[in-house]
């Protein structure tokens, strides 16, 4: 199956002609918004969105998991997000999958993409940095005695991720300046990244990639040493993906800051003891 690129949706201004409209009218080129900017839904904005659940997605009356279900959307269905996320739920409106009537309510943001996708395959154009690069490999993490080359895999993954999300070059040495470390060189996780420990992590990675978000994943060797890589793509080839049970580690593409590994199954062969994943969730 050929990989497809994500088609980012345009931001709309509800206050008349925007600066981008003026630039376009003048024949000027405008820089595309970063992924972080594209993921922001303003207080007064409505946005097209797509359901990325494998099965029907419940629509609830209020923004919490136990709220009454008022209807459902079909997998892949186009809907409308009518405001910012509230407690992990988007306010939405769309056509009920069973009745055909227009419904309003709240859906889990984990199963909604604000970026259009048209196939199962995704390849995010994420820069590959190596923690051993001579430009930064000898730098010490915080006040520790450990260098980026030695234990800087997570920092390097953050640099790759932030470069993609912001549409800028955030190299590992610059990333270090934005992070906080213990005296032993351990990284304190940024508050805008969510750490997920669930065993259904392949499903979560699949969803985040279709939302245009790379995912950090950590695992340990049987001997105890750990390593982190960044998942940047999904390509199942000719295999049909009809449910979460169809997902395999071999389907996921990685940027490995410490080796030449390119797929998640290669990573797990060397480091079989899964720790957790982490991904950007915004401010």
Residues 95 and 210 in one domain: no
How does residue 17 score in pLDDT terms, banded at 50, 70 and 90? Answer: very low
In a domain, 28, yes or no: no
Task: Examine the fold and report which residue of 113, 136, 152 is the final residue of a domain before the chain moves on.
Answer: 113
* Mean predicted confidence (pLDDT) in 109-117: 87
- Domain membership of residue 195 as a residue range: 122-280
Task: Examine the fold and report which residue of 90, 113, 136 is the final residue of a domain before the chain moves on.
Answer: 113
Residues 223 and 241 in one domain: yes
* Mean predicted confidence (pLDDT) in 28-37: 65
CATH number reported for the structural domain that contains residue 108 in this entry: 2.30.30.40
What are the tens digits of pLDDT across the range 34-77?
888 877 776 668 899 999 999 999 999 999 999 999 999 999 99
CATH number reported for the structural domain that contains residue 199 in this entry: 3.90.70
In a domain, 21, yes or no: no
Residues 103 and 142 in one domain: no
Task: Examine the fold and report which residue of 93, 113, 133 is the final residue of a domain before the chain moves on.
Answer: 113
Residues 76 and 211 in one domain: no
What are the tens digits of pLDDT across the range 237-258?
999 998 999 999 999 999 999 9
- pLDDT computed for residue 174 by the predictor: 98
Residues 272 and 188 in one domain: yes
Residues 68 and 165 in one domain: no
In a domain, 30, yes or no: no
SS3 annotation, the chain: CCCECCECCCCCCCCCCCHHHHHHHCCCCCCCCCHHHHCCCCCCCCEEEEECCCCCEEEECCCCCCCCEEEEECCCCEEEECCCCECCEEEEEEECCCCCCEEEEEEEHHHEECCECCCCCEECCCCCCCCCCCCCCCCECCCCCCEHHHHCHHHHHHHHHHHHHHCCCCCHHHHHHHCEECCCCCEECCCCEEEECCCCHHHHHHHHHHCCCCEEEEEECCCCCEEEEEEEEECCCCCCCCCHHHCCHHHEEEECCCCCCCEHHHHHHHCCEEEEEEEECCC
Structural domains counted in the chain: 2
Residues 127 and 105 in one domain: no
In a domain, 9, yes or no: no
* Mean predicted confidence (pLDDT) in 112-138: 91
Residues 108 and 234 in one domain: no
Residues 244 and 193 in one domain: yes
Residues 109 and 129 in one domain: no
């Amino acid at each position: 199956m050929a990989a497809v690129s994500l088609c980012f949706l345009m931001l709309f201004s509800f206050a008349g002609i925007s600066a981008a409209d003026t630039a376009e009218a003048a024949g000027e080129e405008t820089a595309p918004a970063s992924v972080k900017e594209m993921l922001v839904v303003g207080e007064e904005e409505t946005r097209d969105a797509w359901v990325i659940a494998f099965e029907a997605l419940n629509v609830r009356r209020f923004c919490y998991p136990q709220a009454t279900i008022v209807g459902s959307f079909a997998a892949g269905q186009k809907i409308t997000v009518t405001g910012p996320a509230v407690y992990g739920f988007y306010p939405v409106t769309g056509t009920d999958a069973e009745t055909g009537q227009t419904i309003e309510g709240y859906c889990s943001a984990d199963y909604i993409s604000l970026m259009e996708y048209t196939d199962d395959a995704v390849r995010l154009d994420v820069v590959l940095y190596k923690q051993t690069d001579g430009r930064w490999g000898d730098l010490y993490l915080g006040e520790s005695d450990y260098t980026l080359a030695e234990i800087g895999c997570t920092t390097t993954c953050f640099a790759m991720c932030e470069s993609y999300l912001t549409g800028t070059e955030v190299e590992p040495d610059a990333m270090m300046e934005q992070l906080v470390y213990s005296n032993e060189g351990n990284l304190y996780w940024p508050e805008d990244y969510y750490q997920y420990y669930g065993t259904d992590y392949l499903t979560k990675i699949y969803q985040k990639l279709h939302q245009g978000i790379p995912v950090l994943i950590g695992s340990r060797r049987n001997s105890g040493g750990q390593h982190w890589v960044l998942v940047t793509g999904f390509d199942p080839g000719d295999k049909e993906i009809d449910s979460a049970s169809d997902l395999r580690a071999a389907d996921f593409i990685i940027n490995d800051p410490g080796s030449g590994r390119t797929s998640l199954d290669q990573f797990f062969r060397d480091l079989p003891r899964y720790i957790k994943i982490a991904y950007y969730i915004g401010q």
